[in-house]
Structures are given as C-alpha cells and as structure tokens.
Amino acid sequence: MTILVITKDPAMEYRVRSALGTSADHEVHHFDSLEAADDALSRHTDLCMVVIEHDLDGFDGLKAVEKLSRRRQDCKILLLLNDSDLSVGRHALDIGATATAPISITSDALSAILNLMASKFKLQLLPDDGQGPARRDPSSRLSKRELQILALLCDGQQNKEIAHAFGIQEVTVKMHMRAIIRKLGARNRTHAAMIATRDELV
C-alpha cells in the first residue's frame, strides 16, 4: 500500500515511516506540495493514505485536504495540526479528512492512528484539547472489567470474541462497551481504542 506524506518538513516522512514500523506492505513517499504529489496521485492505484501537515511555512493543509478528498475519495487523509485547534480539526473533517491530530503527537499515538486508518475501520478522529470528559471528571474511571475489555478491543477482538474470553454474554460486552465509549468521551469503539493507546490506559 502506498502512503503519501505532504509537508515541507522532510523529517515528517521519517516519523511516518517509524510509526508504521518495518512492514513491507507500506511504501511511503514525501512531497512538499499537493502539486508535487500530482503524478503519484494518478500513478499509484494502491494509494491508501495521505498524511498532510497543516500551515507549515504558508502551506495550507486545509486546501490540500479539500482538493484531495474530491480527487481521491477512496483515500484516507490524516491532517497534522500545529496546535490542538478543534475548530480547524472539525472543519478538516467536514471537508474530507479522516482524522486530525496535533503535530506534537507521540510516536506511539501516531502509530496507533496510522494503523487504524490503514485498517478496514471507518473513523473520524479529532485532536484532543485536554478537556474531554475523561479528563474533566477524574471520577469517571473505567472499572477493572472495562479495562480488560478495552485491552481486548485494542487487540482487535470483536464483541463475540471478547464475550467468549470472559465467559459472559455478548450483550454484556455491548453494555460495557457503551460505558467505555461514554467514559472516554469517544465517538465509537475505534475512537475508544485510539484514546486508550494514546493515554496508555491498557
């Protein structure tokens, strides 16, 4: 699978490569503008993802997201922000980005997001402003069972498999999953897994 990194910072290509690990399934290419990436966008039929850095030395990542989402609707887009400006993040999602994250994101969290985006899951992720429900309310901690279920979720297991692992009903797992998503302030199970990986909850 081909991944394009569009940024004026060559080091970002290295960060993406490192986050993806040593997998031979990914071919990463770096370009300093959407125009420079034009040939690659047409040539690579296996293009699965584009990582775009927003607002670096005058480069407008939002315009790049908008153009790219119209041109390659089959491609997932990650926009990296110079800060955790939620308004920019929400706008990016509205115009076609799959996920947004702060440029200062840790390598582990970047790896989690890239691998989730490369998977079959459909997701939309916003940057965290540090004021999500789980951070605002210290009492909204996950129970021991919820943490166990969250760990298996992060391993990619489905509700039926989790239920079998604990010898409980699948409906019980669904109940716990709803509680996990609510307590973490997540939009869905995929977002919950991303938050858990980012915050090292499991």
| The predicted structure's pLDDT at residue 135 | 44
Phi-psi map region of 185: left, alpha, beta (phi>0 left; psi -120 to 50 alpha)? left
Residues of the chain with CATH 3.40.50.2300: 2-118
| The predicted structure's pLDDT at residue 149 | 92
| The predicted structure's pLDDT at residue 159 | 92
| The predicted structure's pLDDT at residue 139 | 31
| The predicted structure's pLDDT at residue 173 | 92
Find out whether 117 and 191 touch, Cβ atoms under 8 Å: no
How many CB atoms within 10 Å of residue 10? 10
Residue 31 forms beta bridges with which residues? 6
| The predicted structure's pLDDT at residue 84 | 52
139: which 2 tokens?
């009492």
| The predicted structure's pLDDT at residue 152 | 92
Please give the helix or strand (H or E) that residue 27 lies within, else none.
Answer: strand 27-31
Q: CB burial class (10 A; 0-12, 13-18, 19+) of residue 120?
A: exposed
Class in CATH terms, 2-118: alpha beta
The span from the CA of 166 to the CA of 38, in Å, is: 50
DSSP states of 28-81 as a string?
EEEESSTTTTHHHHHH-TTEEEEEEE-SBTTB-HHHHHHHHHHH-TTSEEEEEE
144 backbone dihedrals φ, ψ, rounded to 5°: -60, -45
Residues of the chain with CATH 1.10.10.10: 133-198
- DSSP secondary structure letter of residue 4: E
Q: What is the pTM of this model?
A: 0.57
Q: Which residues of the chain have pLDDT under 70?
A: 22-24, 55-59, 83-87, 119-141
Tens-place pLDDT, residues 102-137: 887 888 888 888 888 776 555 555 544 444 444 443
Q: What's the CATH fold of domain 133-198?
A: Arc Repressor Mutant, subunit A (1.10.10)
Enumerate residues 6+ apart whose C-beta is below 8 A from 175.
none
Q: How much of the chain is helix, strand and coil, in % rounded to 5?
A: 50, 15, 40
